[in-house]
Every structure is written in C-alpha cells, then in structure tokens.
C-alpha cells in the first residue's frame, strides 16, 4: 500500500482533507478471482468474479472473452444484488395448504426427489405425454430437451414460443440462419444498418459495441421501431412505424428495388432458389412444388438447355418466363413468382404508407439509399476463397448493407412472414454473409430446414422418443397430430394450428391443460418460467387454470413441480418446489447442441463454474434433473446395471455423448484435449475451459469467413467439426416448399389434411412466399373502439434478466408508466402523470401516463415485467412494483377472439409464436378517486417459511467492516 500524497516530489499537500485522507491505491480487488459466464440475461458474457472473504466483491467483463471483450452491461454489473437477494428460496418445499395460499412445509431433498420421482414414475409407466415439461429461460435446453425425450413425453419446450420463434423459423426456413444467436451484422465493415423492432436482444453487449463502432466510422444506422428508445435513440434515422406493419414496409422496399431494377441477380442465381422452377398446376397435388429430376434435384431453366439441375455450375439461368417441363408440366422460376408478388399494387409505397405511418416518398428514399450502398459502394476484401463448385475467387465482394431485427417484428401473428420477407430483402440486395452485410454466426448456416422432423409420435410407456422434440417439420407428414388432426402435444405445437411450432407454445400449455385439450395431463413440471405472472398472457386466467378443481376437489392439473432460485409469483402455485442455485453457484454448459456463443468469426461455447458456495439448502436444477433421470431409469442416465450414469452435472457435461464424439461441449475434446467439435470425452475438459476463462472459441480462417453457405472450405470444415451432417451448398429459400406442402394438404391433397375448421387458415397462411396480412386478432374483432396499438419492451437494464427485484436495478426501474405521443395525448385531453385505464377487448388495467416525442402516434407502450404481485420476490407489499408497476399482460388475451370451432392461441398461425404485440387498446382517464394504485391488484402472496427478515438499509461492502 502506498499513499499518493507522499509521492508528489516533496510538494506539501494543501492542509485540507487531502493531507489526512487515507486512500489505499493498490489494494487487490479481492483475495480471489474466478471466471465464469454471466446469466443476468441471455447474452452470456464472460465475467471475472472477484471474491473477498468469500463474498462477491466485484464482477467485471472478461477482456479475453469473445462475446463481451471486457465490457459488462448494467445487468451483469448488478449481479451481486441478484446473488444476495433475499428472495432466494431457502430449501425444498411441499405445499400443505390450497394452491396459491403460500402454505408450505420445508422438506428434505430426499423427500423432494422421492416425491417427484413417485409422480413422474407413475406418469412414465402409464402415459408419458401426461408430463408437460416446460423450462422458461433455460440455457440448458440441450440437457432438458434430451431429458424429456428420454422420459418419452413430446410435451417439452422452453420459452422460445413466446419469445421469438417467428424469427428463428423465418430465418432457418429461408437462409439457414437468423438474427440473434444465428447471425449478426458485419460490425467491422457494414456501411448501412437497418435495425427493426422494439425491445432489446439476446446479443446485448455485442450490439452496443457494434453500433458504437459503426457510428465511429460514420456508417448510417436506421431504426425501424415504433419507439425511439435504446438502440433507436442513437440511430441516425428513426422510422416510427406502426406495430405489425414492418412486413408491409419491407415488401414495399422489395417492390421498389425490383421496380427500379436494383437487384443482385447474380447473387440470386448463385445462392438462392430464385432460378428453381416451380410447378404451375392449380388444383393439382404438385402445384407449387419444385420441379425435380429423377434424383430429386430441383431444376432450373438454362437458356440453352432448358430444364437442368439447378446446382449445375454451368447453368445460365433465366429467371423470368413461363416454361414447359420435359414431362409437359408448366413451370415458372421462383424469381418470377416473387417479383410478381412484390410488384403488386398492394406493396407499392403509396399503398402501404398510411398503414405504416409515414409517407411513400420516405420508403422510396430509403430503398434508394439502401440500393446505393449495396450497388454503388460495394466492399471488396482481398481474400481468396473457393466456392462450392470448386471455383477459386481472388477476392470477396460484399454489399455493405446489414439488417438486424429484434423481438418487435417477431411477436406478431404475421411475424413469420415478416421475418421471411426481411431475409428476401437481404437476398435481393445480395447482402447475406458478404463483407459488410449480415453474417451467419457459427454453427450457422445450417441446411434448410436444419434437420429431421420433431420426435413425439407414438409415445409409449417407459420408452424414450427417438430424435429431437423441438425440430423441423418438412411437410404434413412431420406434424404431431392424430389422424383426425387432433394435436399430439398439449401446447398444440406442430399441429395444424402451428405447423412450424419449432419452439413449442409455452403460452398455451396451462390453458390447454386446464381444458383437457386435447387431453388432461398429470404433472406440470416447470423451470424458471413465471407463468403465474409476467410470462403469461392474461396471468389471472393462468392462475385460475392452475387452481382449477374437478368436482371431487382434485386439481385439474394434479401435480405441479416448479424449480426456481427465487420466490417468483409462480412459486405459490406449485405443489413441490425444487429450489435452484444462483448462476454464480453452479455448473452450466452453454452448449453447441443448443444456442452456443458462436459469432461470425467462428464457433464457440462456454461453461459456468461455481464461484460462490450456496448458503442455503438448494441444488442446481440440472443436477436434480440428472438425478431424477437416474431414479426414473431413463436409459441415457443409467448404466447397464441401473445405477446412475452420471454422478453430477459436470460429469454429464464431460461424458455425455449425443452421438459418438459429440457432447455438450465442443472444445478440448479427445482424450488429450486436442480435438475440436468431435472427439472422445476428455476428463480434463472442464479444467481446460476454466484455464481458458470458461469459454472455447474456434477462429475461422479468412477464406472461410464469408459466403459460408457456398464456401467449400467453410462447409468442409464445419462438417468435420460436426456442425452439420453434410457439406452441401445451403441454397437460400425464397419460395418455401415445406410451407407449400402444408398449403397443398389444406387444398385437399395427401393423406394428412387439416381438419375442416382449420383448412382455410392453413391454406391462407402457409403461403410459400411471404405476404402481409393484418394481425389475426385485429382481423377478428372491431378495432375501431381501440385506436392504439400497444406494445411492451423490457428496459435495457433488465432485458431478459431473471429477477428485477435486484436491489440496484429496482432503484432504476421500480415502476412503469404508459407512454403515449405528446401530440396525441394532448389532443385526447391527457396530461403527464394522469392515471388512465388501458382497455382492450379482453380487459383493462390501470396505469400512470407519460407523454413523449419519440413514439408512433398510434402506439402506446410500457416497460414490461416491472410490475410485481404484492408480496412476491420478497418485496414489501407497499413496494412501488405492486402499487404503480403494471403488467400489460392483463389485457392481452391468450386466445383469438371467439369463433366457431376450437379456441386458437393468440399466436402466429404458422409458428405458434405468441402475438404479444398485436394488442389494440383504448386509453381513458380514470374517474376521480381512482388514481394511485394499479388494477388488477390480486391478493398479496405469502412468503414461504424461513425467508430472510426484511432490512431497512443495505450497506453492501464485501470484505468491509459493514458487510
């Protein structure tokens, strides 16, 4: 230790407090530092956790980590308060009073696991699908999904269905990648970025860093977003679009580009299915399918040779024309069909302008700007590369226009087509995985669609399902439906209601289970999913379903098991609580089998290691799951003699092999740790990760870093590393044949056809080319009384974080208001801080108003998931979160407006994505005397036993005298 004052070359310090102020300049931060991976959101940054006297002194970004490179956001930096939250559950609990009463008895882990085993064993021995296993904000889906398949239930998903499956499906069925974990702008080279959608993004820190670097280079950033907050705040241009019309805007841009002939025809001919021939046979079973040769290869029209296999390197493709196939059928190239659609008058800027909320001239200007950058400011990198046809190129030429989309465009019932349209816009510009454009993140691109259909048919007692439960339908045969079209899954995913329900439909599980639609379940097993509050549409109805009883008094959902680290609003509705550890107390694998931390620079994955010992009677959920697997005798979790195969989660991470040589982690495989991607388990693997800062990253060579979909070097290496099954070119799909197959079924072809009440819906929405339609909910009720679109986003300091009860973050956002355009609010006679009713077709919620400039004038919005139920999360009942915080969820219906036939989820008709942002509301001032407290205001929740005493003042000082 040294005191700075002594060092100033003999100068006497002034005789002030500085002379006696004891500043310890070089105190070590802590007595120990450990690396791990952050879990304050989904970004999965590398962190260095400094410990002092066993407590967390300081969490900082790991400078060597590829995701965050040393920075750490507002959430990650507040991790200490999540670690030491008084809302942490203390011990396993058994419900002893009615559901919702909060009457619990603490039990031992033995009893907890025996209880769970008892219930689950019975289900597995009788009818495994009666287990619904849904895992909210799960970052271990490669384990949980595998466990569910081993159990034998098709009823598994995480929260993707209510988050962003439209984006995932739209991308994976179109370009073999997507935004978020699947792709990112070329931050180093892009000259123009158009970013869509409200809300934040999984890629929290890379986007912030990337935007800053683009701004530093003077690149233009355009934000298309109803609300000018967050990233939109720093955009060079803000396009305040009306929610749900992004697709229209995108298709109008495509219209303009084609109309003005600013299209990258070569890119389309080489890398997309634009030249492929589509059979034109209206009413026929082959209408809209690709013309193929005898080997099943799609055909294209060669100027000289007519129909030849589309992958022929010598193809001289004609993209427009009506052609007759050798077998006499009529066919048309995909490009022709696409151009016809988007040149249609309905997609002309004039036609869409009013709906989108800005003038047609602006759309034309933006189209011209984009085209100018793409075609007049091409970016050339002197990097030789080899294409899939074996041809060598001496440079990489790019279109430096990048697109990115956040959750906003996804959470609509027209979101899948919107996302697909955005990818088509990228293709038209030739701006997919080229220098300066949007780029795939390894391990993407993947084949389109990426793999076989979902497992779940023929579930039998005591039998695992073969394959992945969440996978990719290629056509009606892959659907999980009975012969009469009845869904096999409790959430109706992969049924005619959501044929591309890749991520499941967690938002409809509890409603369907309570209604026994299509069957009753025995056990609902959830992890980290606040379904009795902010994760549910219409939470009060969800609570009713969780507490619904049969005439004999039994609960309609007989058993509810819930695992969470904190006393969330869902805890009181479970019969058995398995308290989880915090993210700093456990092992985890950010697995390449799930959503790893790869980037455009190469594949990567990461681990968490325990850095703090739990001070409560809690166990990591994944470890409990592995033990349950062993007790239930799930084949992959027991040895031949029936004894547990894995002693704990780390053992599983290292030694589990999904296929020979492929396990949860891709780094340091092989006995000596020398192999990447594929290799035998390495007993030293976790230590190698720890030595490297808890992550692994493989760096792509320059020659394989762009055009990955058609880059011979990349594809060969990706196959060798086990990232894909073959090294074929990944041809981007403008025309989606799987969607056309569903449409054909709806038109009466094939053995599997939709039930009558869904036939027209499937025919309409399974369109092989993206189109725009008004969101379903808005089509189906009179929106005139509800003039505003209403959307939510989580604030940047809380996005995707589990637990906004964090003592520091709740000071930043302890309550939320409803934001409205100042101009509009003033016109409606509303003033800042007025209390208002926000009313939709299905209910109303009371909130306080805030007026602002940067919001579309037909849109209101609020910060989500700040409002809490009184008593939950160990906040006192008078806390602002329950008094002035409110959830818009209360006025979002989980079902589409009443109609004949079965009730349908308020969701995208193709993917089942929850349509949170289709909401329409009216806003009126409350009656005098109604101000002050939000409504609905459900009864206060009682805390479980032995939770910590409330404190009036927190003096956190790790290692200090006051800690």
Name which position in 99, 159, 270, 586 contacts other proteins (CB under 8 A).
270
Name residues contacting other proteins, limited to 316-335 (CB under 8 A): 316-321, 335
- Residue 415, interface with other proteins (CB under 8 A)? no
Q: CB–CB of 36/584 below 8 Å? A: yes
Provide the minimum distance between the beta carbon of 846 and other proteins in the complex, in angstroms, as a whole number.
17
Dmax (CA) for the chain in angstroms is 100
Span interacting with other proteins, options 223-231, 572-580, 888-896, 900-908, rule CB under 8 A:
223-231
Binding mask 340-359 vs other proteins (x if CB under 8 A, - otherwise)?
Answer: x--x----x-----------
Q: What stretches of 831-935 adopt beta strand conformation (E)?
A: 835-840, 843-852, 859-863, 920-925
- Compute the distance between CA of residue 193 and CA of residue 219 in angstroms, rounded to an integer: 8
User: What are the CA-CA distances from residue 99 to residues 559, 932, 943 (Å)?
Assistant: 11, 30, 13
Name residues contacting other proteins, limited to 589-628 (CB under 8 A): none
DSSP 8-state secondary structure symbol assigned to residue 432: B
Number of residues that bind other proteins (CB under 8 A): 132
- Residue 336, interface with other proteins (CB under 8 A)? yes
Span interacting with other proteins, options 27-35, 101-109, 165-173, 508-516, rule CB under 8 A:
27-35
Name which position in 11, 283, 294, 660 contacts other proteins (CB under 8 A).
11
Q: Which is nearer to other proteins, 483 or 952 (CB)?
A: 952
Provide the minimum distance between the beta carbon of 252 and other proteins in the complex, in angstroms, as a whole number.
13
- Residue 670, interface with other proteins (CB under 8 A)? no
The closest of 19, 316, 59 to 956, measured between CA atoms, is 59
DSSP-assigned states of every residue in 590-602: E-TTSS---BTTB
- Residue 228, interface with other proteins (CB under 8 A)? yes
Span interacting with other proteins, options 235-243, 287-295, 574-582, 754-762, rule CB under 8 A:
235-243
Q: Which is nearer to other proteins, 293 or 340 (CB)?
A: 340
Q: Which is nearer to other proteins, 367 or 526 (CB)?
A: 367
Provide the minimum distance between the beta carbon of 162 and other proteins in the complex, in angstroms, as a whole number.
24
Q: Which is nearer to other proteins, 220 or 412 (CB)?
A: 220
- Compute the distance between CA of residue 846 and CA of residue 865 in angstroms, rounded to an integer: 15
Name residues contacting other proteins, limited to 801-830 (CB under 8 A): 805, 807-815, 823
Provide the minimum distance between the beta carbon of 246 and other proteins in the complex, in angstroms, as a whole number.
17
Provide the minimum distance between the beta carbon of 844 and other proteins in the complex, in angstroms, as a whole number.
23
Name which position in 6, 10, 24, 294 contacts other proteins (CB under 8 A).
24
Q: CB–CB of 460/489 below 8 Å? A: no
Q: Tell me the Ramachandran region of residue 288: left when phi exceeds 0, alpha when psi lies from -120 to 50, beta otherwise.
A: left
- Residue 791, interface with other proteins (CB under 8 A)? no
DSSP-assigned states of every residue in 95-128: E-SSTTS--EEE--HHHHHHHHHHHHHHHHHH-G
Q: What are phi and psi of 49, to 5 degrees?
A: -105, 115
Provide the minimum distance between the beta carbon of 709 and other proteins in the complex, in angstroms, as a whole number.
14
> What does DSSP say about strands 237-239 and 93-95: parallel, antiparallel, or unpaired?
unpaired
Q: How many CB atoms lie within 10 A of CB 925?
A: 16
- Residue 876, interface with other proteins (CB under 8 A)? yes
Name residues contacting other proteins, limited to 300-319 (CB under 8 A): 303, 313-319
Name residues contacting other proteins, limited to 80-109 (CB under 8 A): 80, 86
- Compute the distance between CA of residue 865 and CA of residue 799 in angstroms, rounded to an integer: 9
- Compute the distance between CA of residue 897 and CA of residue 892 in angstroms, rounded to an integer: 11
Q: List the beta bridge partners of residue 843.
A: 840
Structure tokens at 902: 């079965």
Name which position in 38, 42, 51, 78 contacts other proteins (CB under 8 A).
78
Provide the minimum distance between the beta carbon of 859 and other proteins in the complex, in angstroms, as a whole number.
13
- Residue 390, interface with other proteins (CB under 8 A)? no
Provide the minimum distance between the beta carbon of 358 and other proteins in the complex, in angstroms, as a whole number.
8
- Residue 297, interface with other proteins (CB under 8 A)? no
- Compute the distance between CA of residue 364 and CA of residue 354 in angstroms, rounded to an integer: 14
- Residue 875, interface with other proteins (CB under 8 A)? yes
- Residue 14, interface with other proteins (CB under 8 A)? yes
Name which position in 309, 558, 702, 959 contacts other proteins (CB under 8 A).
959
- Residue 233, interface with other proteins (CB under 8 A)? yes
HSE-CB for 668 with a 13 A CA cutoff: 22
- Compute the distance between CA of residue 125 and CA of residue 157 in angstroms, rounded to an integer: 22
Name residues contacting other proteins, limited to 119-178 (CB under 8 A): none
The closest of 659, 273, 200 to 669, measured between CA atoms, is 659
Name residues contacting other proteins, limited to 894-953 (CB under 8 A): 950-953
Q: What are phi and psi of 748, to 5 degrees?
A: 105, 15
Taking each helix axis as running N to C, give the angle between helix 539-547 and helix 506-515, from 0 to 180 degrees, rounded to the nearest 10.
40
Name which position in 6, 8, 10, 640 contacts other proteins (CB under 8 A).
8
Q: List the beta bridge partners of residue 848.
A: 835
Q: Which is nearer to other proteins, 28 or 516 (CB)?
A: 28
- Compute the distance between CA of residue 407 and CA of residue 677 in angstroms, rounded to an integer: 31
Q: How many CB atoms lie within 10 A of CB 323?
A: 19
Name residues contacting other proteins, limited to 43-72 (CB under 8 A): 52, 57-61, 63, 68, 70-72
**Terminal-residue alpha carbon distance, the chain:** 22
Q: What are phi and psi of 924, to 5 degrees?
A: -130, 150
Name which position in 117, 188, 234, 517 contacts other proteins (CB under 8 A).
234
Provide the minimum distance between the beta carbon of 16 and other proteins in the complex, in angstroms, as a whole number.
4
- Residue 18, interface with other proteins (CB under 8 A)? yes
Provide the minimum distance between the beta carbon of 249 and other proteins in the complex, in angstroms, as a whole number.
15
Name residues contacting other proteins, limited to 422-481 (CB under 8 A): none
Q: How many CB atoms lie within 10 A of CB 202?
A: 20
Name which position in 145, 171, 240, 944 contacts other proteins (CB under 8 A).
240
User: What are the CA-CA distances from residue 777 to residues 60, 746, 839, 895, 907 (Å)?
Assistant: 45, 22, 15, 9, 9
The alpha carbon of 711 is separated from its chain's Cα centroid by a whole number of angstroms, namely 28
Q: List the beta bridge partners of residue 194.
A: 222, 403
Name residues contacting other proteins, limited to 733-772 (CB under 8 A): none
3-state secondary structure of 122: helix
- Residue 32, interface with other proteins (CB under 8 A)? no
Name which position in 6, 10, 216, 929 contacts other proteins (CB under 8 A).
216
Q: Which is nearer to other proteins, 14 or 553 (CB)?
A: 14
Residues counted in the chain: 963
Q: Which is nearer to other proteins, 326 or 960 (CB)?
A: 960
Q: Which is nearer to other proteins, 319 or 425 (CB)?
A: 319
The alpha carbon of 488 is separated from its chain's Cα centroid by a whole number of angstroms, namely 24
């Amino acid at each position: 230790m040294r005191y700075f004052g002594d060092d100033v070359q003999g100068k006497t310090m002034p005789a002030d407090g500085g002379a006696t102020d004891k500043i310890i300049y070089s105190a070590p931060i802590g007595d120990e530092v450990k690396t791990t991976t952050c879990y304050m959101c989904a970004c999965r940054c590398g962190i260095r956790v400094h410990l002092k006297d066993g407590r967390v002194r300081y969490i900082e970004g790991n400078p060597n980590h590829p995701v965050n490179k040393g920075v750490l956001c507002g959430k990650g930096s507040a991790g200490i308060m999540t670690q030491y939250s008084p809302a942490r559950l203390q011990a396993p609990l058994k419900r002893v009073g009615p559901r919702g009463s909060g009457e619990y008895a603490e039990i031992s882990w033995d009893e907890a696991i025996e209880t769970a085993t008892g219930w689950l064993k019975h289900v597995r021995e009788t009818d495994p699908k009666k287990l619904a296993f849904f895992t909210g904000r799960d970052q271990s889906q490669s384990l949980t999904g595998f466990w569910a398949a081993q159990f034998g239930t098709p009823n598994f998903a995480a929260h993707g269905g209510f988050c962003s499956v439209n984006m995932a499906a739209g991308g994976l069925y179109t370009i073999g990648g997507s935004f978020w974990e699947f792709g990112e702008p070329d931050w180093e080279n892009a000259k123009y970025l158009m970013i869509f959608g409200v809300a934040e993004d999984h890629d929290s820190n890379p986007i912030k860093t990337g935007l800053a670097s683009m701004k530093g280079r003077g690149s233009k950033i355009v934000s298309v977003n109803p609300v000018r907050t967050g990233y939109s705040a720093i955009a060079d241009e803000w396009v305040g679009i009306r929610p749900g019309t992004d697709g229209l805007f995108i298709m109008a841009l495509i219209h303009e580009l084609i109309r003005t002939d600013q299209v990258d025809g070569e890119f389309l001919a080489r890398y997309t299915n634009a030249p492929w021939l589509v059979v034109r046979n209206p009413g026929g079973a082959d209408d809209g399918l690709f013309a193929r040769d005898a080997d099943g290869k799609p055909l294209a029209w060669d100027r000289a040779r007519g129909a030849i296999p589309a992958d022929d390197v010598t193809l001289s493709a004609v993209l427009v024309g009506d052609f007759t196939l050798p077998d006499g059928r009529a066919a048309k190239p995909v490009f022709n069909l696409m151009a016809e659609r988007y040149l249609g008058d309905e997609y002309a800027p004039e036609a869409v302008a009013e709906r989108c909320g800005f003038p047609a001239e602006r759309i034309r200007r933006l189209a011209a700007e984009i085209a100018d950058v793409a075609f007049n400011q091409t970016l050339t990198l002197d990097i030789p590369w080899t294409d899939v046809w074996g041809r060598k190129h001496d440079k990489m030429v790019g279109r430096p226009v990048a697109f990115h989309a956040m959750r906003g465009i996804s959470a609509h019932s027209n979101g899948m087509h919107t996302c697909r349209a955005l990818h088509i816009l990228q293709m038209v510009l030739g701006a997919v995985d080229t220098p300066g454009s949007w780029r795939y993140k390894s391990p993407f691109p993947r084949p389109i669609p990426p793999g076989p259909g979902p497992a779940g048919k023929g579930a039998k007692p005591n039998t695992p399902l073969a394959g992945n439960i969440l996978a990719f339908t290629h056509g009606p045969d892959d659907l999980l439906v009975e012969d009469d079209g009845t869904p096999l899954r409790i959430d109706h995913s992969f049924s005619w209601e959501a044929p591309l329900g890749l991520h499941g439909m967690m938002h409809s599980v509890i409603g369907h289970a309570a209604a026994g639609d299509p069957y009753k379940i025995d056990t609902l097993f959830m992890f980290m999913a606040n379904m009795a509050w902010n994760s549910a549409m219409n939470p009060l109805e969800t609570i009713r379903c969780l507490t619904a009883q049969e005439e004999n008094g039994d609960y309609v959902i007989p058993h509810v098991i819930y695992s969470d680290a904190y006393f969330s609003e869902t805890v009181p509705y479970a019969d058995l609580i398995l308290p989880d550890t915090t993210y700093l107390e456990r092992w985890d694998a950010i697995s390449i089998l799930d959503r790893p931390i790869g980037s455009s620079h190469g594949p990567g994955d990461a681990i968490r290691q325990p850095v703090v010992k739990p001070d409560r009677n809690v166990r990591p959920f994944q470890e409990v799951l592995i033990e349950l697997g062993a007790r239930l005798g799930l084949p992959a979790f027991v040895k031949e003699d029936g004894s547990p195969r894995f002693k704990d989660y780390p053992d599983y991470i290292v030694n589990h092999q999904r296929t020979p040589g492929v396990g949860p982690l891709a780094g340091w495989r092989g006995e000596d740790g020398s192999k990447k991607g594929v290799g035998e388990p390495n007993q030293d693997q976790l230590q190698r990760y720890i030595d490297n800062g808890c992550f692994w990253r493989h760096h792509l060579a320059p020659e394989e870093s762009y055009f990955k979909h058609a880059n011979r070097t990349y594809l060969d290496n990706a196959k060798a590393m086990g990232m894909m099954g073959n090294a074929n070119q990944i041809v981007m799909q403008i025309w989606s044949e799987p969607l056309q197959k569903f449409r054909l079924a709806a038109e009466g072809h094939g053995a599997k056809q939709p039930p009558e009440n869904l036939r027209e819906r499937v025919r309409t929405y399974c369109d092989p080319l993206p189109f725009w339609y008004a969101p379903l909910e808005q089509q189906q009720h009179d929106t005139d009384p509800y003039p505003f679109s209403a959307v939510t986003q989580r604030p940047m300091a809380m996005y995707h974080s589990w637990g906004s009860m964090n003592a520091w973050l709740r000071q930043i956002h302890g309550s939320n208001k409803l934001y409205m355009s100042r101009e509009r609010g003033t016109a409606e006679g509303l003033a800042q801080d007025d209390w208002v009713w926000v009313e939709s077709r299905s209910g109303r919620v009371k909130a306080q108003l805030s007026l602002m400039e940067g919001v579309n004038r037909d849109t209101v919005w609020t910060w989500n998931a700040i409002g809490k139920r009184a008593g939950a999360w160990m906040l006192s009942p008078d806390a602002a979160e329950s008094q002035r915080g409110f959830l818009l969820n209360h006025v979002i219906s989980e079902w589409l407006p009443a109609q004949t036939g079965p009730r349908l989820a308020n969701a995208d008709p193709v993917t089942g994505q929850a349509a949170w942002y289709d909401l329409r509301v009216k806003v009126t001032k409350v009656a005098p005397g109604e101000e002050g407290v939000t409504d609905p205001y459900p009864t206060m929740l009682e805390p479980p036993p032995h939770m910590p005493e409330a404190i009036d003042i927190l003096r956190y000082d790790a290692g200090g005298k006051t800690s």
